[in-house]
Structure 1
Amino acid sequence: MKTDVAIVGGGLAGLNAARLLQAAGIDFLLFEARAALGGRIQTVNERGQPDADGFDLGPSWFWPRMQPAIANLVAELGLPTFPQNNDGDVVFERMSRESPKRYPGLVQEPEAIRLVGGSAALVRAIAESLAEGRLRCGAEATDMRLTEDGVELFVRLADGREERVQALHAIAAVPPRILDAMVRFEPALDSATEQLWKQTPTWMAPHAKFFAVYDRPFWREAGFSGTAQSMVGPLAEIHDATTSSGEAALFGFVGMGAEQRKTIGEKALTEGCIQQFVRLFGEQAAHPRATLYKDWAADPLTATPADWFSAGHPRAPESGWVAGLWNERLTLAGSEVSPIEAGYLAGAVEASAAAVADLIQKFATNKG
């Protein structure tokens, strides 16, 4: 199997790279290890199944005024949006022996915006625009080898078979840590590049999100926005997750480390989160119709053991992400390598656009 560019990773960064390569007339094949496209973009219904109108287990919103790259892509694709709900009072929970305090909400600037249908609307729109047969799911990249005229990529399929792909260039649209952990390179990466990748945290990897789905957004009726901050837990930061179609939900980020979450277990965490919602928003929170829990640290395609103890946004190195022999044949394009919005949806768009622009220039120079 031959192509001009082999893309590893079918999240937003990989799909946007594919979209831009297609627009430039450059042949590509994209390989995604998961059974479905999207990477950390996962929109599901209350049963936890992928849905066109669901709840975002990964990134939920963006800020158009601060992040023009993602705003422009959403506009270009013609995707409808709606504002994240902030109307109403906010709640702050400082310590367990005190009752939560209620305060008037403030106008949020810049305004956070969500996509109608969830963040996966981006994934669907781009995937539908790409040529048939260019996207391969359930295809995990395991090895890359430099050849005389490019890169040889080895891919393991869901049924255990292996495919070999010849490409002029490879784009890795995955977090650097995941790339280092899952792909063997021949020749080996230089030590500086390997250490850089290992030391780059993956955004969202240490975190977990909990959702409670209700028949109606009762907190809004009581004058709450659904926003809360807590130093008691188990949730540290809470928001309204109600969909554009009115499916009512609250969600929060679990405010404890991955190892502690694993020890406590999902059942006890779920009970604790519901009890917290009752403390913050009243007795009506005690009976959710459904709950969802996503621990990104337990996802091997998102987190490595190093991510259990490391958080924060990655920082772009001055010397670039790939050095040594691989510099001319491999480009990193995941959100973590964005110099401006690392870890965010906007970072995925910016990093992939920069990678493709650089590649187009290289191809033009080589042809000349």
Structure 2
Amino acid sequence: MGRLSSVLPVAPIAILGGGVAGLCAARLLHAARVPFVLLEARDRLGGRVLTVDATGAPADNGFDLGASWFWPRTQPRLAALVAELGLSAFVQLTDGDVLFERMVREGPQRYHGGPQQALSFRLAGGSAALVRALAAGLPRERLRLRTAVTGMQLEDNGVTLMLAAQGDASSSPERITVSHVIAALPPRLLGATVTFAPTLDADTLAAWHDVPTWMAPHAKFFALYDRPFWREAGLSGTAQSMVGPLAEIHDATTASGQAALLGFVGVGAEQRAAVGDMVLTRACEEQLRRLFGDEARRPQATLLKDWAADPFTATPADRVPGGHPAGGDRRWVTGLWERHLTLGGSEVSPLEPGYLAGAVLAAERAASAAIAAIQERRGT
């Protein structure tokens, strides 16, 4: 799937973003027989869902550099979708002791791991299994990669979108006109990368900017091994540290048995950029040695994903952690744009904002709102 072609059929609804929210919205529109076009700036679908192999390449079975877990007991709509799509899930391993590192000179403290109240699950094959299953049921000609929306202009007959092909400097800007737009993007990213004519009111732009983008300030580090040796020592692979650079560590072994530890980097985005990936990787390996022993210092491979450096996820405002998005029932779009633009990214979900479950719920609301808006304008 490449850049948008001049023969694209006219669609009443455009979806901006090919992550879980955008794909769920597309699935609902397709089921309702409402034509759509989905525009994704990346060269892949999934957004902040990214499953890779040991080399860092996208893979059907691997390690989740982005969204990893879901909680069926407290996220029933997502659990129902996983079941509906026929996907397999497995419980995140927490059996065994946990480690806590308060300061280097003390060494790690070991504690007996207690029972987990709300069991977290991962998808067999990685979270990208959800992306593949959602995309498989959609018309391929309606899914366009490497196509960024740079501007929107309100017209008498709808919304004209200004498009830019990514990775093709010789291409000319293109335009399409649709009746309605579902922006399945973080509000802050939408406001920072898309221009609007007429301009959005200042209160709306400020509200979008104030919504933290989930994952945007963070980085994840993986160390891959030939076997989960920590389990042999009665450890769960879970650790917390006040020393760093990893603040929180978990067993990331896949359902197929590929052994790994993952850690959330506790170093800020500016400092990560200053020290560089190589220095940060060496510091992470040394920390794993302190916690899990000498064997942890010799991984077969390492992976590092800094979401703050991802231009399709983060803006400069995201380089400083701003907490978790609050979501909620509110008017995310006001004024002239209200009847033509619906926000549908996970951050605007009234429940579980920022999580995979929030993406599913936000997409359902956005698809329903877009269909209702079109029917209203048609007088049906």
* TM-score using structure 2 length: 0.95
Deviations 1:80-131 (A, max 9, x none): 1111111111001111221101111112120000000000001100111101
Residue 155 of structure 2 corresponds to 147
Q: Distance in 1 between matches of 2:139 and 2:60?
A: 22
Unaligned runs of 5+ in 2: 1-7
Q: Could you tell me which of 54, 57, 60 is aligned with 1:52?
A: 60
Residue 119 of structure 1 corresponds to 127
Q: Distance in 1 between matches of 2:112 and 2:332?
A: 45
Q: Could you tell me which of 280, 284, 287 is aligned with 2:291?
A: 280
Residue 7 of structure 1 corresponds to 15
Deviations 1:159-198 (A, max 9, x none): 2332211111000000011111111111111111111111
Q: Is the CA contact 1:203–1:311 (under 8 Å) kept in the aligned structure 2?
A: no
Offset at 1:318?
Answer: 5.3
User: Match of 1:90, SS?
Assistant: strand
Deviations 1:266-302 (A, max 9, x none): 1111111111111111111011000000011111111
Q: Distance in 2 between matches of 1:132 and 1:298?
A: 29
Q: Is the CA contact 1:55–1:243 (under 8 Å) kept in the aligned structure 2?
A: yes
Unaligned runs of 5+ in 1: none
Q: Distance in 2 between matches of 1:3 and 1:199?
A: 32
User: Match of 1:16, SS?
Assistant: helix
Q: Is the CA contact 1:3–1:165 (under 8 Å) kept in the aligned structure 2?
A: no
The reply on whether 1:136 has 2:148 as its aligned counterpart is no
User: Match of 1:97, SS?
Assistant: helix
Q: How many residues align?
A: 368
Q: Compared with structure 1, are the counterparts of its residues 176 and 30 closer, same or farther at alpha carbon in structure 2 (3 Å cutoff)? A: same
User: Match of 1:202, SS?
Assistant: coil
Counterpart amino acid of 1:356? Answer: A
* TM-score using structure 1 length: 0.98
The reply on whether 1:329 has 2:340 as its aligned counterpart is yes
Residue 161 of structure 1 corresponds to 172
Deviations 1:183-230 (A, max 9, x none): 111111111111111111101111000000001100011111100000
Q: Distance in 1 between matches of 2:58 and 2:363?
A: 25
User: Match of 1:144, SS?
Assistant: strand
Residue 47 of structure 2 corresponds to 39
Counterpart amino acid of 2:144? Answer: R
Q: Could you tell me which of 106, 112, 117 is aligned with 1:109?
A: 117
Residue 176 of structure 1 corresponds to 187
Residue 262 of structure 1 corresponds to 273
Q: Is the CA contact 2:340–2:373 (under 8 Å) kept in the aligned structure 1?
A: no
Counterpart amino acid of 2:68? Answer: S
User: Match of 2:23, SS?
Assistant: helix
Q: Is the CA contact 2:246–2:263 (under 8 Å) kept in the aligned structure 1?
A: yes
Sequence identity of aligned pairs in percent? 59
User: Match of 2:133, SS?
Assistant: helix
Point out the more displaced range, 33-42 or 88-97: 88-97
Counterpart amino acid of 2:287? Answer: Q
Counterpart amino acid of 1:232? Answer: V
Q: Could you tell me which of 193, 213, 219 is aligned with 1:202?
A: 213
Q: Could you tell me which of 308, 314, 318 is aligned with 2:319?
A: 308
Q: CA RMSD in A?
A: 1.1
